[in-house]
Chains A and B, each alone.
Chain A
C-alpha cells in the first residue's frame, strides 16, 4: 500500500469531488497506524521507556480527513495532539519515536517533551505547550504567503479549551481583519483536561464564535471523514480565492486521558465514554469500507498485523539509536553562541571530561 512509515499520498481530488474508495482505504490505514502508535506509546510510557505521552484516540478521522484535504505545500501549525496529521504528512514513524525518546536521531535534538515535534521538511511547524500561541503564527504565515504570491494556506490545530485563550481571540480577529488565507481547525474533544466543553464558553457551538470575527464558521462531525474532508476542502478553496479564513469545529471525543499524567475517571462517567466508544471513528470507517465491498475482514486483520509489525520495527530502531550528545545543549539558542554561552559550554565540557557530570 504505502512505503514503511508513511501512509501514502492522497489521490488527486478537486473541490466538489467525493473521496474515492482508494482514498478511503488509505485514510483508514492512516487512522489505524495512528491508533497502533498511540496504544504502543501509552504502553511505552507506563514501562518508563518514554517520559510522557499525549494520546489522540477518538480524533483520528478528524485529523486524517483534514490533512487529506490540505495540499502538501500548505503549512501545518499543530498543537501537541496531531499525530495523525504528521503521519499523513509523511513523517516517518522512526523519526517520531526518536522524538518521543529524545535520542540523537531526533530532529529536535532531544529538547522537547514527546508530542512537541516539528519537521520543516513536511511543513509541520514545531509545537509548544502553551495553548493557542500557534494560531496567530498561522495567521502571520498566511499573510506572508499571500505577500509572496504563493497560493497556499496555513492551518492551525487546537482544542475546545484553547477557544478560551487570548491567542485564539487575537488570531481569529487578525485573520478576519486581514482576510488571511488560513484555516482554524478546532478539534472539540469535549474535555480540556477535567473541564467539560460547557465550562469553556456559554456559546452554543465553538464555530459560532466565527460570527463575531466576521469569518466563516462550520461545525462538522469529526468522526466522519467525509464531512471533515468536505469542510476543509471548502475552507481551503475559499482561502485560496481570497475569501478569508474559516473556523472549523470538528466534534470528536477524547477517548483516552488528556495525557499519561491524567486520570479521566476522576471527572467523567463510564457511560459517557461508552456512548462515544460506540462512535469510534475507526469502527465507523471500517464499517463503511466493508459495506462498499472494497474491504474484507481478512484485509483488516492483515492491515492491523502489518501496522503492528511496522511500528515495532521502527520502535526497535529508535531504541537502538544513540543518546543525544550532551554538547548539543548549547546549540541553536542563537545563531551563534555569545561569549557567556561559550564559556558555559567550555565549563560543561570540562565537567563531563573530569567526570563531575555523567551523561
Chain B
C-alpha cells in the first residue's frame, strides 16, 4: 500500500497498464512532454516515448475519432479530454460512433476506448471548466460511465476500464485530485464495475453520491451522527453499469434517500435514481426522496460555492427527509 493523491493514483494506473501491455497508449492535448495540465500523465512521455504518449492537435473530435480507429485496429487507446467542458466537439464521435460501433456492426466491431476527463466544479473554473455532464453519457446506450472518489478506486477502476471490452467514459473529480489522499494497493488491482461501495453504513437514511460529492456527503453523515442519526453513504462508483441492487437494498433498509450530485437537477442522474426508488422501493420509502444538486443554471464563477452542494445543504435535506413521514 502506498499513500497517494487521487491524481497520483491515476498516473500510477496509467503507467502500470502501459508497462504491462504494449497495446495501451495515451493520446490527448498536452499529455506528452507537459504531462497533462493536471499532471495525470506526468513521466509517461519520458518512459514510453511520443509514439505511445501522443500529443495531439487541439481537436477533441480528432482525438476521439483517432482513438476509435486505433481501438478498431486492436489497440487500447486512452484518450484524455482536457476538461469535460471541452468534450462537446467530440460528442458526435462518442455518441454516434464509439457508443454504437458494437451494436451497429452486429458485434463485429467492439470499440474499447477509454476517455479520461476531469469534471466538476470547485476550482474557480466558471462555466467552461466546471461542468458535470455525466448524464448525457449515461443516457447513451453503449457507453460505460465511471466516476471514482478515492485514490484506490481511481486506480482500480481505471485499470478495469483499460481492460474492459466496452467504451468507458472515466470522469475524474478534479476538485479532489490533490485534496484527497488514501492508501492504494500496489500492482494491478481491479475494482469491478457495477458494484457500489458502502462508504459508511447506517440505518436511518441513505445518501447516494459519487465523485467529488463524496467528501461533503461523508461530512454530512458525521454531522448527523452527532445528532444521533445513523446515515448510510453509498458511493455509486459506476453510473453505467449501475449497482441498482445496492441502491434499492439500502433504501429498503433505511426508508429514506438523499441523492447528491453537482450537475443540474433537471434530468440529472439523480432523476434516474429517484425513479428506480419509486419503481422498486416505493413501499419502503418513509418520506419523499430528496435531491441535493447543482441548480438548473449554467455553472457560475463567482457564486460557485453557493451553487455546489456542500455538507450543510446535504444535512439540511437529510433533516427534512428524517422529519417527514
| Residues in chain A within 8 A of chain B (CB atoms) | 75, 77, 106-109, 111-112, 116, 118-120, 125-126, 128-130, 133, 135-145, 147-148, 154, 166-167, 169-171, 173-174, 177-178, 331-335, 338-340
Contacts and interface: CB of A to CB of B under 8 A. Distances in A.
5 closest residue pairs by CB, A with B: A140-B69, A136-B65, A170-B62, A140-B66, A144-B73
Interface stretch (B90-98, B225-233, B287-295, B302-310): B90-98
A310 to B, nearest CB: 25
B89 interface: yes
Nearest to A108: B106
Contact of B107 (A128, A130, A144, A332): A332
Nearest to B276: A340
Contacts of A77: 69
B65 A334 contact: no
B69 A143 contact: yes
B66 A143 contact: yes
Given A173-B62, A340-B242, A125 B72 contact: yes
Contacts of A130: 92, 96-97
Interface in B78-131: 89, 92-93, 96-97, 100-110
Given A137-B65, A332-B103, A339 B70 contact: no
Contact of B104 (A116, A119, A143, A338): A116
A321 B204 CA distance: 59
B93 A333 contact: no
A136 B66 contact: yes
B95 to A, nearest CB: 10
A136 B69 contact: yes
A128 B242 CA distance: 28
Interface stretch (B51-59, B177-185, B312-320): B51-59
Contact of B65 (A107, A119, A133, A335): A133
Contact of A133 (B72, B92, B102): B92
Contacts of B100: 128
Contacts of A145: 73
B114 to A, nearest CB: 14
A139 B72 CA distance: 11
A334 B240 CA distance: 11
Contacts of B242: 338-340
Contact of A128 (B54, B69, B75, B97): B97
Main SS at interface, chain B: mixed
A170 B68 CA distance: 14
Contacts of A137: 65-66, 68-69, 72, 97
Given A133-B93, A173-B57, A334-B142, A142 B69 contact: yes
A144 B109 contact: no
Nearest to A99: B106
A108 B65 contact: no
B66 A174 contact: yes
21 contacts: A119-B108, A120-B108, A125-B72, A126-B109, A128-B104, A136-B62, A136-B64, A137-B69, A139-B66, A143-B69, A144-B73, A147-B25, A170-B62, A173-B59, A174-B56, A174-B65, A332-B103, A332-B106, A334-B144, A334-B166, A339-B241
B66 A108 contact: no
Contacts of A173: 57, 59, 62
Contacts of B244: 339-340
A337 B244 CA distance: 14
B298 interface: no
A135 B65 contact: yes
Contacts of B240: 338
Given A108-B104, A335-B165, A340-B242, A136 B70 contact: no
Given A332-B102, A338-B242, A339-B245, 18 more contacts: A109-B107, A111-B103, A118-B104, A125-B105, A126-B108, A128-B96, A128-B104, A136-B62, A139-B65, A144-B73, A148-B73, A167-B61, A173-B62, A332-B107, A333-B103, A334-B241, A335-B165, A340-B242
A154 B69 contact: yes
Nearest to B74: A144
A321 to B, nearest CB: 15
A126 B92 contact: no
B141 interface: yes
Q: Which of A137, A169, A178 has the most CB of B within 10 A?
A: A137
Contacts of B108: 107, 118-120, 126
Contacts of B75: 144, 147-148
Given A111-B103, A126-B104, A143-B70, A120 B65 contact: no
B194 interface: yes
Interface string B163-182: 01110000000000000000
B105 A108 contact: yes
Contacts of B141: 333
A260 to B, nearest CB: 21
